[in-house]
Amino acid sequence: MIKTWSIFVVLLLPLFDLAFQVMVVEVTDPIKYIYTYTGTMAIILLFTATSLSLIKNKINLIIHRRMIGLFAFFYAFLHFCNFYVFDAELDVDFVVKESLDKPFVYLGMISFSILIFMAVTSTRKLYRKFNKYHRFIYLVLILITIHFVMAQKALSIAQWVYLLLIIIIICFKIKQRKDLISKY
């Protein structure tokens, strides 16, 4: 049985690695590096949390889904802070201009707003009331995939592989949903 604390430590390690890369290694373009690191962590953890039900017959990690989802939110929050604090330097005009110039930015904003709602309503009490709205995760997965692709000038081989993985997971989730609906 995988212990919750061990998953917590594993999900926290990238934060220490990111801090080490930015503050010790001193990567050349820290803002771009933080975007890539936090954005990639958030998208990987969101798809992992969503895919747990697909593999639960083989390895059941469903009890850790909430924690993995909250860590995805945490890295998306760091990603947003990188944008608003470091890139925009708290300049709201820049945020508005950037969002209008780069449509992928407001796709990120819409997704992040939905993730805030899902993080807040993931507590036991609120989840009972709002769990049906957690299906918005499918909209977030699609918007974030478009955001990720549009953020690239050109997709690298690795990113094409990501995209293929993302499309496969979305197809399996749609099939799982269809099977669930047809059962009732």
Q: Which residues of 86-125 are buried (b: 16+ CB within 10 A; e: fewer)?
A: ebbeeeeeebeeebeeeebbbbbbebbebbeebbebbeee
Nearer to ligand HEM, 28 or 182 (CB): 28
Residue partners of 14: CB distance under 8 A and separation at least 6: 37, 41, 75
Cα–Cα dist 25/8, whole Å: 25
Query: Residue 83, interface with ligand HEM (CB under 6 A)?
Result: yes
Question: Which residue bears the tokens 């709205």?
Answer: 133
Nearer to ligand HEM, 80 or 130 (CB): 80
Residues of span 90-149 touching ligand HEM by CB under 6 A: 105, 108-109, 111-112, 115, 144, 147-148
Instruction: Return the residue of 18, 68, 76, 137 that touches ligand HEM, per CB under 6 A.
Output: 76
Query: Residue 46, interface with ligand HEM (CB under 6 A)?
Result: yes
Instruction: Return the residue of 11, 43, 49, 118 that touches ligand HEM, per CB under 6 A.
Output: 43
Binding residues for ligand HEM (CB under 6 A):
32, 35-36, 39-40, 42-43, 46, 76, 79-80, 83, 105, 108-109, 111-112, 115, 144, 147-148, 151
